[in-house]
């Protein structure tokens, strides 16, 4: 059974368990420490989840936890794919004139993915990720979420041979929210790609329609600090390179960092001043069935290394240690599900020439089509 078939089966089963994603989330409250997400904020997440179909539980969903904030707040992320029950949910909203700007943007992307000979589908497949800004003080529930595409079908590697692929993904995101195409922005995106070493990859593309315009690029696979810093210098990142060197050096001293990646914001006038760092710590040899989820990141030494940073709150770090776990069997009305949960990545955010923020991205995903 391939993964697409497994997702469809799981979605069919989840539809028997409730009406919306909030019906599913309530069962996971006791798994999430109150130091990570407090009760009042949890209720705000449930309110958002109640507007989303329960079938989203068949693809990864989860939380962005700001480890630098004392408050137990979080943003909420979900995944969906064209050609599935979740796509049908948004088509029905459009048909009944009950959709909003987010509905329109999603369906515009799906239309591009589903068209005959779709270049976009050849690169990113059919999946889209949304990030809802729950932790903001804004009460505007109609704010467009962040939208992300990942080149999972045809990876975009450095070396300069896939400029057309880069532009295809960026154009799809820009057009789906009604932004006009910007020549200067495109040139800076292309330049950021062309400066990538051949073994690196552009891991994801994102936009935040409710914020100031920029294109978020995640570039992964730098082998060492020098390579990373050379890339930042060549792309014209306006921050102090020495600050990046200092942060990476501290983690090198505490853990076995084998590779790194960066999140950059490409704007009309070049790269934005904030920078996200992702450090990959070598995984110990394991035959554990969840190896594919965590890649090469061994979270225990990384979290220990992170605990030395003054910017993070120790209690949150401690509670993260219990988050990543082995697959768990859950029993529901329609039968057994397998729950997978873990840490997708942790981002170190440098702005104003210092490490100011640390964000952990936690995921859960259910499968009703596998056994352990």
In a 13 Å sphere around the CA of 78, the CA atoms on its Cβ side amount to 26
Could you tell me the pTM of the whole model? Answer: 0.94
Query: Could you give the angle at the alpha carbon of 21 between the alpha carbons of 16 and 25, nearest 5°?
Result: 105
Per-residue pLDDT of the chain (372 residues; tens, 9 = 90+): 678 888 999 999 999 999 999 999 999 999 999 999 999 999 999 999 999 999 999 999 999 999 999 999 999 999 999 999 999 999 999 999 999 999 999 999 999 999 999 999 999 999 999 999 996 665 555 689 999 999 999 999 999 999 999 999 999 999 999 999 999 999 999 999 999 999 999 999 999 999 999 999 999 999 999 999 999 999 999 999 999 999 999 999 999 999 999 999 999 999 999 999 999 987 544 444 444 444 446 788 999 999 999 999 999 999 998 887 778 999 999 999 999 999 999 999 999 999 999 999 999 999 998 654
The residues, ordered by sequence, that sit 6+ positions from 367 with a Cβ below 8 Å of its Cβ are: 6, 10, 58, 337, 338, 340
Nearest Cα neighbor of 67 from 302, 228, 254 is 302
Query: What's the rounded Cα separation, in Å, for the pair 293 and 259?
Result: 17
DSSP 116: T
């Amino acid at each position: 059974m391939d993964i697409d078939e497994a997702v469809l089966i799981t979605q069919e089963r989840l539809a028997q368990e409730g009406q919306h994603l909030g019906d599913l989330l309530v069962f996971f409250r006791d798994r999430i420490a109150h130091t990570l997400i407090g009760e009042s904020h949890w209720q705000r997440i449930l309110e958002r989840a109640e507007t989303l179909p329960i079938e989203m539980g068949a693809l990864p969903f989860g939380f962005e936890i700001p480890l630098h904030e004392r408050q137990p707040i979080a943003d909420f992320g979900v995944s969906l794919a064209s050609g599935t029950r979740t796509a049908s949910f948004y088509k029905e909203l459009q048909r009944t004139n009950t959709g909003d700007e987010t509905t329109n943007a999603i369906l515009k992307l799906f239309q591009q993915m589903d068209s005959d000979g779709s270049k976009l589908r050849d690169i990113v497949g059919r999946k889209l990720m949304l990030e809802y800004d729950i932790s903001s003080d804004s009460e505007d529930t109609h704010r467009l979420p962040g939208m992300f595409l990942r080149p999972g079908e045809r990876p975009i590697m450095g070396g300069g041979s896939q400029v057309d692929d880069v532009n295809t993904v960026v154009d799809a995101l820009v057009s789906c929210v009604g932004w006009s195409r910007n020549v200067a922005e495109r040139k800076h995106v292309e330049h950021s790609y062309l400066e990538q070493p051949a073994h690196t990859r552009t891991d994801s593309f994102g936009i935040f329609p409710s914020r100031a315009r920029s294109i978020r690029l995640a570039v992964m696979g730098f082998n060492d600090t020098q390579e990373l810093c050379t890339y930042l210098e060549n792309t014209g990142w306006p921050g102090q390179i020495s600050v990046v060197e200092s942060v990476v050096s501290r983690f090198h001293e505490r853990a076995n960092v084998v590779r790194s990646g960066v999140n950059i914001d490409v704007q009309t006038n070049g790269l934005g001043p904030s920078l996200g760092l992702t450090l990959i710590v070598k995984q110990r040899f394991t035959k554990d069935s969840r190896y594919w989820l965590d890649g090469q990141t061994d979270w225990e030494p990384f979290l220990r290394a992170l605990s030395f940073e003054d910017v993070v709150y120790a209690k949150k770090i401690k509670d993260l240690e219990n988050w990543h776990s082995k697959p768990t069997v859950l029993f529901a009305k329609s039968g057994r599900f397998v729950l997978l949960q873990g840490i997708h990545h942790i981002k170190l955010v440098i702005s104003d020439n210092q490490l100011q923020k640390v964000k952990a991205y936690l995921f859960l995903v259910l499968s009703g089509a596998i056994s352990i």
